[in-house]
Amino acid sequence: MKRVTYFHPSATRTVIGITGLLLLLCCCASSAFATLSISSLSPTSGAIGASVTISGSGFGNSQGSSTVKFNGVTASATSWGNKTIVATVPSGATTGNVVVTVGSNSSNGVTFTVVPAPSITSLSPASVAIGGSVTITGSNFGATQGSGTVKFNGTTATVTTWSATSIVATVPTGATNGNVVVFASGVNSNGAAFTIVPAPSISSLSVTTGTIGTAVTISGSNFGSPQGTGTVSFNGVLATIGSWSSTSIQTTVPSTASTGNVIVFASGVNSNGKTFTVIPTITALWGNSGIVGAKIVIQGSGFGSTQGTSKVTFNSGKTATISAWGPNYITPIVPSGATTGNITVTVATTTSNGALFTVGSAPIITSISPTTGAPPSPVVITGSFFGAFMQDSYVSFNGAIARPNSWSSASIVTPVPYNATAGPVTVVVAGIASNGLTFTPNYGATISGKVTRSSDGSAVVGAQVQAFESYSQTTLSTTTAADGSYALSPLYGVQYVGVPTIFLMTSMCTSMEIS
């Protein structure tokens, strides 16, 4: 403030007061005429009726005659402040600029996109118990959920998936009959009627233990009628339904079931569980005899998909090591100390029927047929304790290893190996050899001939002669002697290509004899 001094005291005070007043008016004018500007919109898109927050400056502390327009259409303001306005997207608005007008001044324009309101066309299902899933189909929900919500008669639900045309939501605790509403793009959709139904409940099972295929009647309430999408499971394995009503279901224990809870799924949710014990059953042994270390196969049902704490026990009380385990088969290895008697399978605390298994000390060959033959003719070896699988077992023709075509505990079929010689045939299982029975290979015919020069009839010495099987694999090879002769032997029981193919050490060969 500038001080002006006069001789009269009152005059001095008057000038000081006027100067202060001028400065005060100047400050007020600066506040009132701050720059009118929009800095942001939140959100920047929405449906008719959505609320939009406009941030900026110079709006004035109250609306008065000021306006907000969406692409030229005047909107209603629900709140107004110098830096913030909340307005509702007006009916008839289209995509374009939002502009605030204060007095004769208009702000800058900020783009706002008007989008369609969400719309529900269907619910699936239209009635579910608390906790069930409902698929809401419609349009304009938005590609992602964002601030969108789903409410069941006013109670907010948890959303598991959300897209522009489909939403999956879980019926919330506390929901009651009424409309399902989707909130998206700042507005609520139309309402779709939904009914809350009681959850299914099992009161009893007609039997609580049984083998695969046992008939079971499930009694309870709220199962729904007809079945629709309802299911019954035995420890997670779906069962086949014989009949279904709201209070009773008839079913059978499925083929791969194991001990655990029986559960009814209805009205979109699972019921309480009732325990059912599946009794394991042995129906057959693949290899009902064998030696220690051999693998066998137990066929049956109710074994469970994995071994867990289940076990296979031999007559001596010895527990077997398991090679493979499935709901309908088990592959145990005959344990050390096992004796002839019943094999049983124990699943959890339930033991199966017994199946007789004979334990031998070594594999035994009782016969081979035929006892002579040319490679690779088949030979059938009959006996016992060979084991259900070949695995690491093998057949020996006097030391030549064969490649069997089939193998069981009492019979093996194998071709005679090409390098077999006369002597004992033995079967070796788990490192233990059987007795031996004599087999004599029969090598059959010989191809022979002579290679000479056509010019003078002289012998071609050192020419290579090879015989090929029908699939072009070299079987025999030799070279011509000093007189041009050769012999290919032994020839096995296979088909050969025409005449032998000749590879010569000289290019002068023009004739050959074959016998």
End-to-end CA distance of the chain: 140
Helical H runs in 379-441? none
Quick one: how far is CA 73 from the chain centroid?
55
Digit-by-digit pLDDT tens for the chain (515 residues) are 444 444 434 433 433 343 343 333 333 334 445 799 999 999 999 999 999 999 999 999 999 999 999 999 999 999 999 999 999 999 999 999 999 999 999 999 999 999 999 999 999 999 999 999 999 999 999 999 999 999 999 999 999 999 999 999 999 999 999 999 999 999 999 999 999 999 999 999 999 999 999 999 999 999 999 999 999 999 999 999 999 999 999 999 999 999 999 999 999 999 999 999 999 999 999 878 889 998 899 999 999 989 999 999 999 899 999 999 999 999 999 999 999 999 999 998 899 999 999 998 899 999 999 999 988 999 999 999 998 888 789 999 999 999 999 999 899 999 999 889 999 999 999 889 999 999 999 876 677 888 888 888 899 998 888 776 544 454 567 889 999 888 876 665 444 444 444 444 433 444 444 44
Who's near 234: CB < 8 A, 6+ residues apart? Answer: 253, 254, 257, 258, 260, 262, 276, 278
Who's near 28: CB < 8 A, 6+ residues apart?
A: none
pLDDT of residue 430: 85
Contacts of 464 (CB under 8 A, 6+ apart): 477, 478, 479, 502, 503, 504, 505
Token pair, residue 475, equals 């079987």
Structure tokens of 301? 């049902």
pLDDT confidence of residue 468: 64
Question: How far lies 91's CA from each of 50, 66, 71, 88, 139, in Å?
Answer: 10, 19, 12, 9, 20
Q: What integer pLDDT is reported at residue 30 of this predicted model?
A: 40
The CB density around residue 288, as the number of other CB atoms within 10 Å, is 16
| CB distance 432 to 426 below 8 Å | no
DSSP string covering 103-172, please? TTEE---EEEEE-PPPEEEEEESSEE-TT-EEEEEEE---SS-TT-EEEETTEEPEEEEE-SSEEEEEPP
**How far from chain centre, in Å, is Cα 313?**
34
The single-letter DSSP state of residue 436 is -
Tell me the whole-structure pTM to 2 decimals.
0.65
The rounded distance, in Å, linking the Cα atoms of 164 and 119 is 10
- Distance, in Å, from the CA atom of 480 to the CA atom of 461, rounded to the nearest integer, reads 5
DSSP 340: S
- pLDDT value of residue 463: 86
How far apart are the C-alpha atoms of 218 and 230, rounded to whole Å? 13
What separation in angstroms does the CA of 156 have from each of 43, 120, 244? Answer: 22, 16, 34
- CA 423, 429, 432 angle in degrees (round to 5)? 75
Residue 116 is encoded by which pair of tokens? 């369609």
255, 296, 436 from 364: Cα distances, Å: 37, 17, 9
